[in-house]
Amino acid sequence: MDITASGTPALDAAADHLLIFATRDDDILDGGALRQLNEALDGGLAPLIKSGELSGSVNETVVVHTFGKTETSRVVIAGLGPAEKMGLDEIRHAAANGARKARSLSSGALAVAVDGEECGFTTEEIAGAICEGLDLGLYRFDRHQSPKRVPNVLERVSLHSQNVAGVEAGIPHGRSLAGAANFARDLANEPSNLLTPTELANRAEAWAADHDVEIEVMDEATAAELGMGSFLGVAKGSHQPAKFLILRHRGGADEPGLGYCGKGITFDTGGISIKPAANMEAMKQDMSGAAAVVASMGAIADLKLPINVTALAPCTENMPGGNAIKPGDLLTAMNGATIEVINTDAEGRLVLADALSYANHLGLSPLIDVATLTGAVAVALGDVATGVMANDDNLAAEVIEAGKRAGEKFWQLPMFPEYDDQIRSQVADVKNTGGRLAGAITAAKFLARFAGDTPWAHLDMAGTDDASKTRGTQVKGASGVPVRSLVRFAAARAEASA
């Protein structure tokens, strides 16, 4: 889909559809493209407003036929909600809803009216948010389905504003963020027999090449030389070779820089502590953390952020093969810590233990790990917010703020020292699970031992990795969370150090 800027008035655009945004106000027609449309229709929107069909409410889309009174035969009006509560995320969601509605009508070209500098955002910010919404909302994963018919496609989109330069500046920013999130979605939606650790490495290499990101793929032999016994312990049960991905963006001074670590379990059976069969197919998405950190590097490079960032992704299957680890086994991580395996289904923290140890070995700081780690966080926060646990409250606050700017919600959980008691082992330095109580927190407490004194935040996305329905920027399936927050975090760090 091609997106361009235009100085032509939106109502004069030569397109198949026109998208206009509306706020839920007492005077919904007070200014902008919606007022101009109403004038062109000789007050034809008034009956829709009076009947309640057009209110500007969140998630509302209304199709208006213009009967030749404008260049486009149909106009889609997408609701933003109350003006006083409107932010960039409301613009993203409205753009996504409106674009999907337009696509459902027919293929072709879409024109979008870019209004709203009076709401406190620049044209660049508004255009960027619209582009994020368009690309995120129009996402489809149907590559393995036999088409029943040729699907509608919006081939061209034009953003119309008097400030063409502002729109032109916003387009690549928004598209980079959404493109990275959609790449993470593609990886997480892929069936696990097609996305093995080797194939994940191949796709990461192609992504890195397309975005000028350095990449190194570490094999099991090299991981063994480094002493990654925790990562390799999980890999023992699978016939698929494990891969450890290292991606680097060098945009700053000669220093190690920021470190992202993502859990890359391409399928999680639970191992010997096997999961119930019901819904196990969803465990193809247990590599969503790795997908997020790999994908974020593409956008970080596209935006040429003046900061050094390294992403680490330990990738393997967790299978109950004849050589698999067993409850009661002892593993030794790269940092020398011994781990008692209580439950082989608590494997994500085992692979991340060596990723965090390796990040410290490289001198990366601060560290952020991303993982579909615990069902407990989904019980606590549902599918609305990603859990944040950290050894540095200021770092946690930075992550949460980056999420607000990206439109992704985070909630911090406590890391009180009393939780350490639950993961004490009688035979090792630590055990890999602390029981049912505070499961998300005790998992983070385990990881904290491998982050050490380095400022570190853990993002448990087990509740937010998948969207159960299509609404706004979310399309049913893999969510692409928290790719855009990781990019925003890196951008904020780069700006702070400038």
The residues assigned a catalytic role are 275, 349
Task: Please report, as a single letter, which amino acid is at residue 225.
Answer: E
Positive or negative, the CA dihedral 12, 14, 18, 19 is negative
